[in-house]
Amino acid sequence: MDLHILDHRLRVTSISRGGLQHYTHPLIKLIFLRNRTRCKFFSLTETPENYTVVLDEEGFKDLPPSEHLQVECSTWLPLNVVSNGNASSSSQAVGVTKIAKSVIAPLAEQHVSVFMLSTYQTDFILVREKDLSVVIHTLAEEFNIFQEVDGESVPVHSQDVNNGLQGNGREVPRSTLHPVLIPANQYCVMSLDPDTLPGIATTLIDVLFYSNSPKEDANVTADLECKFFSFSLIDGYVSLVMDTEAQRQFPADLLFTSSSGELWRMVRIGGHPLGFDECGIVAQISQPLADCDISAYYISTFSFDHALVPEEDIARVTDMLQDQRKGVGC
Amino acid sequence: MDLHILDHRLRVTSISRGGLQHYTHPLIKLIFLRNRTRCKFFSLTETPENYTVVLDEEGFKDLPPSEHLQVECSTWLPLNVVSNGNASSSSQAVGVTKIAKSVIAPLAEQHVSVFMLSTYQTDFILVREKDLSVVIHTLAEEFNIFQEVDGESVPVHSQDVNNGLQGNGREVPRSTLHPVLIPANQYCVMSLDPDTLPGIATTLIDVLFYSNSPKEDANVTADLECKFFSFSLIDGYVSLVMDTEAQRQFPADLLFTSSSGELWRMVRIGGHPLGFDECGIVAQISQPLADCDISAYYISTFSFDHALVPEEDIARVTDMLQDQRKGVGC
């Protein structure tokens, strides 16, 4: 398989719920007015806590600093796995499950933090720019690695980069098993032709910028609904993740999902905000999902991580998570 | 003819050019999200100086105070003339010309300031609430006057209101003849089905909120282009005034204008900001237009007044304005 290091330098930011309205002007430009921006990688995810905005440096320039904006200090690079026909995996599962053993687990073992961003089209694995040499060394055995430079894919050889591997003798701390929540919502993962984006503009603007009920409680407990809405526009491809209640507000003829029209349930990972430095969080859930061959989208946000699994598999996933907490395998 | 005092209590405000982006959130709600606001009278006019926003008290609540927002301190009420078939005028002209002699001139004589807002559908004459009794006394001879209260039209008799007429003996100062400018732009006055407003959302947002080139010079001289864009959504009716350059950005199938598809030229009135207290400014131009039977839309803004006249009449209007400055009639 091929691994591409994409030509985007990304920032991970968070806008407070109350502060979003102050960012309406730049965000509407980044979402709808492609002629007015050179931003090529933009993702906005609403959770009950805040709005996570991941975007390239061109887009980041448009976000004025304020007390409403938090910025993670690193530059992140997106990696993308491309199956080129000779994939060894016989798995039918999609999403993060497919790369759990080949990418997620090895990076966790090397103490590399990852920020995952699954979309309708593909899964982006964001790593810190400063970790790139470790990433390349770690994944070079399994993958042909290419770095995209000005639209060209240039092969990268692991001997070309400084070896930044962690000493093998160093003890890898066992990562914490984080509490998980499984809200009642059913989610869909959708896309639309970017040329028809203007057709959903007023609905999308309404849902993103005006649906923030002031009485909404930011505390989510297991049985409650969980507000989660994700929009991304990356290299011209649009991806949307929303619950079925939000979906009903959109014109049915413009959004599309896969032909089987699956619904997804969410596993929200983290009892308190996870931060960006702990390694192995994605591995913790994607490994057992891979063992059970259950598809999963995975979306990291500023505070928590979110895995989306097929609705029909949620009982197995719940059992698996309980077993994991008792120390039993799938 | 009937004169209706409409059931809207209006505020006249101005947002600075640099400050508009801070008002993107409330303005997009007022323009596009009718389910989220109880505002029924909204008008936004861009000029080279600033953005004039006229809106009812429900809408005004949505504009947070800031150093970018100026608010005229009065409450204004919109008047509307309804021809009910027995109109005495045989004029074919439309717009402010039609009401020049019956409304504009008498109010000017009584020292009542008016703020005009012509739309595709009709012409609103805004008067200060405190001037209402004078207005009623002044216009009661010519009009059947109705006050709209909770959707009902209630007849108003001039003896019911306090007589606030200016003493007849008082000298009426001759009003200043203001300098005028006639920019080169051709304008169109258009409308669209409010249900298709979402179809022009991204274009309208782009034109209103993102076309403000920073190098733009706020000084307009006679031969230059003059940025002027007006959008109003009043009682469910949409009206747009824009120049032909802006018009080309909109989908041609949604906006409509009258069947004759006229183009209009603008007479901008005022060498320095006019303020709100001088009377007779509208009369100064609408009277000679009425004498010559030339149609005109008239849009007041926070700083200047703007008359739109048919392109084929602009030479006559120019002559008329020159003669006026020499003290000669039409």
- pLDDT tens-digit readout, B230-273: 999 999 999 999 999 999 999 888 998 876 778 999 999 988 88
Q: Is the pLDDT of residue A162 over 70?
A: no
- Say which residue, A273 or B170, is predicted with more confidence: A273
| pLDDT score, position B19 | 96
What pLDDT does residue A206 have? 96
Partnered with residue B2 across adjacent β-strands are B82, B144
A197 interaction partners in chain B (CB closer than 8 Å): 202
Chain B hits for A202, CB-CB cut-off 8 Å, are 32-33, 197-198, 201
Residue A115 has pLDDT above 80, yes or no: yes
Residue A171 has pLDDT above 60, yes or no: no
Phi/psi at B103 (5° precision): -120, -55
Q: Average pLDDT of chain A?
A: 88
Chain B residues inside the 8 Å CB shell of A209: 25, 28
- Dump pLDDT digits (tens) for A220-234: 544 577 889 999 999
Chain A residue with CA closest to B197: the answer is A202
Q: What is the ipTM of this complex?
A: 0.87
> Closest Cα to residue B115, out of B13, B236, B234?
B13
Decide: A133 and A163 in contact? Cβ < 8 Å: yes
Record: contact B36-A206, CB cut-off 8 A:
yes
- Whether residue B205 and residue A28 make contact (CB cut-off 8 A), yes or no, is yes
A197–chain B nearest CA distance, Å: 9
Q: What is residue A194's predicted lDDT score, i.e. its pLDDT?
A: 94
Find the closest chain B residue to A212 by CA distance.
B36
Q: Left, alpha or beta for A78 (phi > 0: left; psi -120 to 50: alpha)?
A: beta
In A, which residues are within 8 Å of B22 by CB distance? 22, 25
What phi and psi values does residue B33 have, to the nearest 5 degrees?
A: -110, 75
Instruction: Tell me if B32 and A205 make a contact (CB, 8 A cut-off).
Output: yes
Q: Do B28 and A198 touch (CB under 8 A)?
A: no
Which residue, B117, B96, B110, B150, is CA-closest to B45? B117
| pLDDT at A168 (0 to 100) | 45
Q: Do A24 and B24 touch (CB under 8 A)?
A: yes
Question: Which residues does chain B have within 8 Å of residue A195's beta carbon, measured at their own beta carbons?
Answer: none
Contacts of residue B163, defined as CB under 8 A and 6 or more positions apart, other chains included, come to B133, B137
Q: What is the DSSP letter of A172?
A: P
Cα gap B186→B208, rounded to integer Å: 18
Helix, coil or strand: residue A320? helix
Contacts 24+ apart (CB under 8 A), B171-177: B172/B109, B172/B111, B175/B108, B175/B278, B175/B279, B175/B280, B175/B281, B175/B283, B175/B284, B176/B278, B177/B284, B177/B324, B177/B325
d(CA A3, CA B229): 50
In angstroms, the CA A320 to CA B89 distance is 84
Residue type, A225: E
User: According to the model, what pLDDT value does residue A328 have?
Assistant: 61
Q: Do B210 and A24 touch (CB under 8 A)?
A: no
Give me B267's structure tokens. Answer: 């007479």
Q: Which of B51, B68, B197, B205 to mutate to test the interface with A (most CBs of A within 10 A)?
A: B205
Walking along chain B (330 residues) 10 residues at a time, the average pLDDT comes out as 95 97 97 95 96 98 97 97 65 82 93 95 96 95 93 85 55 72 94 94 96 56 76 97 94 84 91 86 91 94 95 94 75
Q: In the 3-class helix/strand/coil scheme, how is chain B assigned residue by residue?
A: CEEEECCCCEEEEEEEHHHHHHHHHHHHHHHHCHHHCCCCEEEEEECCCEEEEEEEHHHHCCCCCCCCEEECCCCEEEEEEECCCCCCCCCCCCEHHHHHHHHHHHHHHCCCCEEEEECCCCEEEEEEHHHHHHHHHHHCCCCEEEEEECCEEEEECHHHCCCCCCCCCCCCCCCCCCCEECCCCCEEEEECCHHHHHHHHHHHHHHHHCCCCCCCCCCCCCCCCCCCEEEEEECCEEEEEEEHHHHCCCCCCCCECCCCCCCEEEEEECCCCCCCCCCCHHHHHHHHHHHCCCCEEEEECCCCEEEEEEHHHHHHHHHHHHHHHHCCCC
Contact A33 B210 (CB under 8 A): yes
Q: What is residue A257's predicted lDDT score, i.e. its pLDDT? A: 87
Contact A299, A274 (CB under 8 A): no
Percentage above 90 pLDDT, chain A: 69
Mean pLDDT of A78-91: 71
Q: Which residues of B touch A199 (CB under 8 A)?
A: 198-199
First to last CA, chain B: 27
pLDDT in tens, A282-310: 998 999 999 999 999 999 999 999 999 99
Residues of chain A with a CB closer than 8 angstroms to some CB in chain B: 21-22, 24-25, 28-29, 32-33, 36, 197-199, 201-203, 205-206, 209-210
| Contacts A203 to B, Cβ<8 Å | 198
Helix (H) or strand (E) holding A238: strand A237-243
Tell me which residue in A25, A206, A210 faces B21 most closely, judged by beta carbons.
A25
pLDDT in tens, A172-191: 555 678 899 999 999 999 99
| Closest-approach residue (CA) in chain B for A31 | B202
Are B25 and A29 an interchain contact pair (Cβ–Cβ within 8 Å)? no
Task: Note whether B209 contacts A28, CB cutoff 8 Å.
Answer: yes
Return the residue of B nearest to A32 by Cα: B202
Domain ranges of chain A: 1-158+176-211+226-329
The residue behind tokens 């009892």 is A271
The mean pLDDT value for A140-163 works out to: 86
Q: What angle do CA B321, B325, B326 make, to 5 degrees?
A: 115
B25: chain A residues, CB-CB within 8 Å: 21-22, 24, 209
How far apart CA A172 and CA A170 sit, in angstroms, is 6
Nearest to A305 by CA among A135, A126, A129, A172: A126
CATH of domain B1-158+176-211+226-329: 3.30.2130.10
Name the pTM for this structure: 0.89
Q: Which residues of A touch B209 (CB under 8 A)?
A: 25, 28
What pLDDT sits at residue A177?
Answer: 86
Mutation to test the A interface, candidates B17, B22, B28, most A Cβ within 10 Å: B28
